Amino acid sequence: MFRSLVKSACVGLCVLVTAPLFAQQAGVAVIDVQRVVTQSDRGKEVLQKLQKLQQQKITEGKAIQQKLDALKQQFSKQRFTLSQDKLDALRQQIENQTIKLKRFQDDAQRELDDARKAALDKLQQQIMPIINQVGKEKHLMLIFNKYQSGLVYADDSVDITDEIIRRFNTKK
């Protein structure tokens, strides 16, 4: 029984020690694409542009919301002093402004989503040749997207993210 336990421990130790070496020899690597986007120079530029667009939409949305709030406040203050026709007109303005705000929010969200998708697709088109080049240079058979591939564990020794970021930053 002792021999069996020692044998199992040796096999386990061998697997732990040789797993990263085996992965490299088998031609397997992983890349954290999210990190490439957030830490590369071009990725940072894209994220800043997207954030600027988002801030612009927030500012526009606040202006519409403020106008709606002003109309509601006016209605609240003047509901007992205005004629029924003027109250109805004010209600209609509030309803129109509410619809305008909802449409703006929907359109802004769609615009932001489209801009994000287009920007990230463009980045991916710029990054993929670098990933392919590294894969060929290192004779890799497989490169997994670290967090979107269903991968549960990968040793840091097979992570090529830093190299991809470095090359992406230096590429013209």
- Asked whether the predicted pLDDT for residue 1 surpasses 70, the reply is no
Average pLDDT over residues 26-46: 91
- Model pLDDT, residue 168: 93
pLDDT digits (tens, 9 = 90+) for 6-33: 344 333 433 434 444 444 456 899 999 8
Q: Which H or E element spans position 28?
A: strand 28-31
Q: Which H or E element spans position 149?
A: none
Q: How far apart are CA 15 and CA 11, in angstroms?
A: 6
- Model pLDDT, residue 91: 94
pLDDT top residue among 162 and 21 = 162
Average pLDDT over residues 45-57: 96
pLDDT band for position 114 (cuts 50, 70, 90): very high
Q: Where are the alpha helices (DSSP H) in the chain?
A: 2-25, 33-39, 41-78, 84-137, 161-170
pLDDT digits (tens, 9 = 90+) for 53-77: 999 999 999 999 999 999 999 999 9
Q: How far apart are CA 37 and CA 44, in angstroms?
A: 7
pLDDT band for position 146 (cuts 50, 70, 90): confident
Q: How far apart are CA 95 and CA 68, in angstroms?
A: 9
Q: How distant, in Å, are the alpha carbons of 34, 96, 149, 172 from that of 169?
A: 15, 49, 25, 8
The model's pTM: 0.72
DSSP string, 98-118: HHHHHHHHHHHHHHHHHHHHH
- Asked whether the predicted pLDDT for residue 100 surpasses 50, the reply is yes
Domain count, the chain: 1
* C-beta separation of 53 from 112 below 8 A: yes
Phi, psi of 29 (to 5 degrees): -145, 165
Chain-centroid distance of CA 88 in Å reads 45
pLDDT top residue among 44 and 79 = 44
pLDDT top residue among 157 and 23 = 157
Average pLDDT over residues 112-134: 95
Structural domain including 127 reads 2-170
